[in-house]
Amino acid sequence: MRRPTAWRRAAACLVLLAAGSVVPARAQSPFSLVHLGAPAAGGDARVLGRGGWGLAESDTLAPSFLNPAGLPGLRQVAIALSGYGERVRSQGSAGSSDNARVLTPDVAVAVPLGDGRAVLAAGFHARRSTQYQTRERRVWYAGSDTLAAGDELFAREGTQFAVPLTVAVRATRALSLSATLNLERGAIRERVDHFFLEPVDSLVYRRSSLVREDVFSGTSASFGLQWRPTGALSLGAVFTTPWDYAVKRRLEVYNVSGAVDSSYTVRMPLAWGAGASARLASRWSAGADYEWRGLSDLRGRPDWELAAADEWRIGCGFERAGARVRRGGWSNLPLRFGVSRGQWGYRVGDEPVREWRIAAGTGFVLNAGNGRVDVGLSYGRVGDRDRNGYQDDVWRLALSVVGLERWW
């Protein structure tokens, strides 16, 4: 009987991770009530563990899809699956709460052509996530008369995601380029339920509901480049042009026949990022990335425009590469650590939402170099009680599995 390869064992891990992660759990954070929702960090554990940089990276053993221009040079088919879970403690004037969630994982596939001089890639990437739910005691009035007492349940949920289709080529020995068509999709669903504690006069119903669902669809174009002027230095950049979200809205009121359908367009502004990485000495390297999206120029939703702010993030850190020294033990493992600072794309309490994070990580290579497994752990803080009225303390654990195999 044929012995399973390391890649096939890794594929089984991928399936198990996907099965446990495809449905996001609700996370109670007041910041999820605003705008398009919380930006998804991406699940790449290697990138997370060193502070979030990777736009200038090109690694054929652990290919990064953060900048597809780094994929040329790949000699084997690569399949990557990355996801993360969070533990969130939210604090505000009304008190504090502890919640957890697992985000829908990122999936990516890259196929080399012509000994890796060109690469075709595709995948699934979560961009933003919104989960929030509250239940409060309410009393309803008609003029000076009390009609009923009961509970009001509010829920907001949804995910925006992209399906990238990429071509990357090595233009010269030092320069690689990529072009990506992103199929942008997603939805935001808001629901308000009123549960009456007692009947209103002789009426039979004890509940009323209103549901508003916005379904988003669009297409964006992204371009990337990597330039390696020396063997120790690499530079990278990505750019996404402005594009439109076509939005279909459905409004339904339970106990009322029919629904109201409408549509509108949201203009998404341009986004870009730039990064650098350098080999310092022996196994050590350092890097930094800066990413920016001009969400203050978002148009099409007046309520979002009022709260919009430019979104940016800067991350930097260090990495010690793994080794294969006989009986090297723990010293063979890679080590990563880094920090990041950023601002979300909207204001809360009329102030920008700022975030900072510290991170560390490690990993190991699969048997015969057929891929790798990486893990990253970070702690961060989102918002400020004095400035925004709320504050989140977030622990994040990320896991990535990359499998490599020749299929011909």
For residue 21, the SS3 value is helix
pLDDT at position 229: 92
- What single letter denotes the amino acid at residue 113? L
Domain tally for the chain? 1
In a domain, 137, yes or no: no
Residue 238 DSSP label: E
Question: What's the domain range around 72?
Answer: 6-126+159-181+217-405
Task: Look at residue 23 and tell me if it is in a domain.
Answer: yes
In 10 A of CB 326, how many CB atoms? Answer: 5
pLDDT of residue 96: 80
Two structure tokens written together for 245 = 């979200």
Q: How far is CA 4 from the centre of its chain?
A: 33
Q: Is residue 83 part of a domain?
A: yes
What does the longest C-alpha to C-alpha distance in the chain come to? Answer: 83
The residues, ordered by sequence, that sit 6+ positions from 281 with a Cβ below 8 Å of its Cβ are none
Domain of 391, CATH number, reads 2.40.160.60
Residue 270 pairs in a beta bridge with none
Q: Note whether 108 and 119 are within 8 A (CB).
A: no
Cα–Cα distance between 357 and 393 in angstroms, integer? 10
Gap between the Cα atoms of 8 and 182, Å rounded? 30
In whole angstroms, give the CA distance from residue 126 to residue 346. Answer: 19
Say if residues 168 and 118 touch (Cβ distance below 8 Å).
Answer: yes
Taking 50 as the pLDDT cut, the residues of the chain under it are 1-4, 6-26, 204-205
**Any domain includes 73:** yes
- What pLDDT is attached to residue 26? 45
**Confidence at residue 198, expressed as pLDDT on a 0 to 100 scale:** 63
Residue 202 lies in a domain: no
Burial annotation 76-107 (CB, 10 A radius, 16+ → b, else e)? bbbbbbbbbbbebbbbbeeeeeebebbbbbbb
Would residue 250 count as lying in a domain? yes
Give the pLDDT of residue 3. Answer: 42
Residue 22 lies in a domain: yes
For residue 187, tell me if it sits in a domain: no
| Cβ neighbours, 10 Å, residue 282 | 9
